[in-house]
Chains A and B, each alone.
Chain A
């Protein structure tokens, strides 16, 4: 079956530091890949997505590139802010059953001023 593995947190870093959260996946087909974010006290929100190999998703300074050869979709941001403190979830969908999502376990990121 499908699965998503992402680095465990918490990740603690200082403002303006570089952030990378690793994500790898296992899928039987050709999935679409997503990063969702959950800010404190809020619901899950889509951060970015990529639907085919070599696509780069980007939003709010975050980027992730769909790497089929390494089955990876690592999230990066060049200069984090305190407001980026949140839990980040990598997810995939193979389009079956209306596009149900398979999530990783989440990575908590804490940015200190």
Chain B
């Protein structure tokens, strides 16, 4: 079946612009995660949804970052007034359940470049 998909795959934004990144998880997956991966580093947790509820947003770096999953399926990560330090790959992952025995499946990522 289809895996996790993300769009766009690449996004170039001028500093100060708003961007919206989309994640389509695997159908039926309860958990959805967003991670940020800077160049040459490991992914860092941003936020977590269980169905439509955002249960953890402790990793969001500032109030310019906002995520939603209104119907418990597709999720959007929005970054307002982008800055150069926001340049990174944004990864979405989904899993069927909520505990460690359930594998997280990652999408291909959206590479955001802020100029």
> A residues bordering B, Cβ < 8 Å?
4, 32, 42-46, 49, 51, 89, 91, 93, 95-106
Contact = CB atoms under 8 A, between A and B. Distances in A.
B41 A93 contact: no
Given A95-B100, A103-B42, 19 more contacts: A32-B100, A43-B108, A46-B104, A51-B101, A89-B42, A89-B43, A97-B48, A98-B33, A98-B95, A99-B31, A99-B95, A99-B99, A100-B45, A100-B59, A103-B44, A105-B40, A105-B42, A106-B40, A106-B42
B31 A101 contact: no
A43 B101 contact: no
Contacts of B103: 46, 49
10 contacts: A42-B108, A43-B4, A43-B107, A44-B93, A51-B101, A93-B100, A96-B56, A99-B99, A101-B104, A103-B42
Contact of B99 (A42, A95, A105): A95
List the 5 closest pairs (A to B, CB-CB), nearest first.
Answer: A103-B42, A97-B56, A32-B100, A44-B106, A98-B31
A43 to B, nearest CB: 5
Task: Tell me the interface secondary structure of chain B in the complex.
Answer: loop
Contact of A100 (B33, B40, B41): B33
Interface of A: prevailing SS: mixed
